[in-house]
Amino acid sequence: MTGILVAALWCFTTAARADEVVYDVKVTLNWSEDTALSPPDDAHWSRLIAFAHSGRYTLFRDGDTASSGLALVATNGRVTVLEAEVAEAARRGRAAAPVILPGTDAGRGTFEFTLALSEKHDQVSFATMLAPSPDWFSGVSNISLKTPEGWRENLSVPLWVWDAGADSGQTYSGPNLPTQPRQSIRLLTHPAFLQADGLRPIGRAVFSRVSP
C-alpha cells in the first residue's frame, strides 16, 4: 500500500516574507522488487526529516563520517538527535527549522511537504531510514535550488540507498552490531540492490516552486 503523507508548513493566506521562496517537495520511494532483490515483507520507511540550510551545513557526503543524529536515523529511524543538531545549526544561522513527517507502512510511499527557502538558506537536505535494515537510509544533501540566474522553477533528482557506516549487520532484521569506529558514509552496493544493469534509484524527489 502506498502511503501519502502531507505536511502543510506554509499557510497561503499569509504573505511570504520578501526574502522567502516556497517549494512543494514530493518524495516518492519504492523499496520493492522493482528496485531490490527480495525486499522484506515488512519493508517500510521511517520518519523523514527535511530542512533548508546554507552551504555551511552538510547532512551527509560520500566519504564523510555520519553525525550521531544521522547515524540514529539510519540505524533505528530516530530523528530527535538529528533534530537537535539542526536546531544547533539554526542557532548558528546555518539552518532553518526542520520538517518531520511520519513514516510509511510499506516499501512504496510518498512524502509531500512545503519548504520555505531564502537567500541565506538556499539548500535542502532530508533523510529517512529503510526499515528494517542495519543502517541504510535514503535522502539528499545540499541540493541547491538557487542558480546564478535565479531560483529554479523545478528540479527532479534520483534517490539512492546509502550505508551510514554505523552498523555492521548484514541482514534486514538482525541484531544491532555497532561499527566502532564508524566507517565512512558510502553508496550502498549490497547485492540486494545490484541489478544486472547496475544500481537502481530507490526513488525520486521533485522540487516545484510555488511562491513567489
Q: Tens of pLDDT along 174-206?
A: 777 788 888 999 999 889 998 888 899 999 999
Mean pLDDT of 119-143: 97
Pairing of strands 136-144, 44-45: unpaired
List the grid coordinates of 72. 540514529
Write down the pTM of the prediction: 0.89
Go through 111-121 and write b for each residue having 16 or more CB atoms within 10 A of its CB, e for each that does not.
bbbbbbbbeeb
Are 131 and 32 a contacting pair, CB within 8 Å? no
Long-range contacts made by residues 150-158, C-beta under 8 angstroms, separation at least 24? 151/21, 151/117, 151/209, 152/207, 152/209, 153/208, 153/209, 154/206, 154/207, 154/208, 154/209, 155/206, 155/207, 156/204, 156/205, 156/206, 156/207, 157/204, 157/205, 158/201, 158/203, 158/204
Among 68, 70, 42, smallest CA distance to 131 is for: 42
Of 11 and 119, the one with more pLDDT: 119
Q: Tens of pLDDT along 71-109?
A: 999 999 999 999 999 999 999 999 999 999 999 999 999
Are 186 and 63 a contacting pair, CB within 8 Å? yes
Q: Residue 9: pLDDT band by 50, 70, 90 thresholds?
A: very low
Q: What are phi and psi of 159, to 5 degrees?
A: -115, 135
Q: What is the DSSP letter of 192?
A: G
Among 78, 101, 109, smallest CA distance to 3 is for: 109
